[in-house]
């Protein structure tokens, strides 16, 4: 029997709610329930990333290559948290995002890594360094970014450690509701359930793209009212 907190366990819990434990005789195929569960898992994970609490954050490095200004995001990239220069001395300096719409572009005149501190701007599926480097620095760039949680497929697969297990039942119930919606749409031809689901996703989508690439937070200490002596 599948572990309670494994992918197989979640699917069993879904089928208990649906009262159809045997996939071979069920209205809902195993593949359909897997797809529905993963869709809800990624949606709820995206909601966690919008809380900016460090969930699903990973690190990656990039070599700075002489005469190369364009670099790719990691394959599982979702949102940038920080991009920084890493020097051989161990010193790190966050790079600033700068959208250059006026003035010429330049090639760096730096002859050592300590003299090179570019800005960056996102472009396509990666980012551009300005000015273009003239030196090569192994692992000279470090990214902290929100990563896409991997799709669950095998029965023993687990949720990402950053996803709160206390709310795994929410994913189960999300999947149950989606499954019942598919049955209702097929039997009645009523597409309102699909429209509702799309509206819910679109609301999350609008929140997500409101701050797509990078988030910055600043806390201002409380200051009491000024009182004249």
Domain boundaries, the chain: 7-53+149-209, 57-147
Average pLDDT over residues 65-80: 94
User: Which of 73, 49, 85, 163 lies closest to 123, judged by CA?
Assistant: 73
Average pLDDT over residues 180-204: 83
**Regarding beta strands 70-72 and 137-147, do their DSSP bridges make them parallel or antiparallel, or are they unpaired?**
unpaired
Which comes out higher in pLDDT, residue 61 or 222? Answer: 61
Which comes out higher in pLDDT, residue 219 or 102? Answer: 102
Is-above-0.85 flag for pTM?
A: no
Apex 198 CA angle, 195 and 202, nearest 5: 135
Average pLDDT over residues 108-116: 88
Which comes out higher in pLDDT, residue 61 or 3? Answer: 61
Enter the tokens of residue 97: 């995002």
pLDDT of residue 147: 94
pLDDT at 229 over 60: no
* Residue that the structure tokens 């996803």 belong to: 163
pLDDT at 226 over 80: no
- SS in 3 state form for the chain? CCCCCCHHHHHHHHHHHHCCCCCCCCCCCHHHHHHHHHHHHHHHHHHHHCCCCCCCEEEEEEEECCCCCEEECCCCEEEEEEEEEECCCCCEEECCECCCCCCCCCECCCCCHHHCCCEEEEECCEEEEECECCCCEEEEEEEEEEECCCCCCCCCCCCCCCCCHHHHHHHHHHHHHHHHHHHHHHHHCCCHHHHHHHHHHHHHHHHHHCCCCECCCCCCCCCCCCCCC
pLDDT of residue 44: 94
pLDDT at 12 over 90: yes
Residue 49 burial (10 A CB sphere; 0-12, 13-18, 19+) = buried
Average pLDDT over residues 97-104: 88
pLDDT in tens, 193-211: 788 888 888 988 888 888 6
**pLDDT classification of 221: cutoffs 50, 70, 90:** low
């Amino acid at each position: 029997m599948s572990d309670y907190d494994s992918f197989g366990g979640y699917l069993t819990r879904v089928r208990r709610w649906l009262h159809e434990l045997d996939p071979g005789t069920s209205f809902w195929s195993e593949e359909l329930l897997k797809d529905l569960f993963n869709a809800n898992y990624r949606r709820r994970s995206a909601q966690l990333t919008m809380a900016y609490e460090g969930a699903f954050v990973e690190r990656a490095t990039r070599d700075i290559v002489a005469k190369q200004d364009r670099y790719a995001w990691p394959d599982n990239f979702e949102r940038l948290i920080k991009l920084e220069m890493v020097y051989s001395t161990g010193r790190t300096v966050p790079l600033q995002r700068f959208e250059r719409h006026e003035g010429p572009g330049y090639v760096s005149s730096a002859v050592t890594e300590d003299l090179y501190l570019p800005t960056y701007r996102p472009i396509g599926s990666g980012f551009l360094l300005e000015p273009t480097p003239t030196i090569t620095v192994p692992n000279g760039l470090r990214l902290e970014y929100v990563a896409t949680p991997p799709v669950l497929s095998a029965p023993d697969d687990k949720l990402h450690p950053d996803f709160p297990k206390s709310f795994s039942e929410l994913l189960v119930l999300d999947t149950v509701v989606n499954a019942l919606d598919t049955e209702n749409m097929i039997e009645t031809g009523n597409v309102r359930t699909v429209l509702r689901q799309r509206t819910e996703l679109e609301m999350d989508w609008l929140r997500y793209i409101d701050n797509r690439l990078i988030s910055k937070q600043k806390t201002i200490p409380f200051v009491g009212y000024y009182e004249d002596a």
